[in-house]
């Protein structure tokens, strides 16, 4: 799936304005309604094969919730 196929919910300048570039923590929504999260790799525990852990700031989740009207 290409980034262009996702709806970006965060980092658009509508939140705290600190992060609007592609290399920042972000939350995206897929066409099927699931989410893709971009953030720093976390080593909190070993995820199952085929999965990964990322860490994102609380404000990024809050911004995504606002974008969705939650």
Give pLDDT tens digits for 24-67. Answer: 899 999 999 999 999 999 999 999 999 999 999 999 999 999 99
Residue 18 pLDDT class (50, 70, 90 cuts): low
Give yes or no for residue 20 having a pLDDT over 60. Answer: no
Give yes or no for residue 3 having a pLDDT over 90. Answer: no
Rounded Cα–Cα distance for residues 52 and 29 (Å): 18
Give yes or no for residue 16 having a pLDDT over 80. Answer: no
Q: What's residue 14's pLDDT? A: 53
């Amino acid at each position: 799936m290409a980034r262009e196929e996702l709806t970006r919910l965060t980092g658009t300048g509508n939140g705290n304005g600190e992060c609007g570039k592609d290399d920042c923590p972000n939350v995206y929504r897929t066409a099927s309604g699931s989410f893709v999260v971009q953030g720093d790799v976390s080593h909190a525990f070993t995820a199952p094969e085929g999965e990964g852990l990322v860490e994102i700031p609380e404000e990024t989740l809050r911004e995504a919730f606002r974008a969705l009207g939650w």
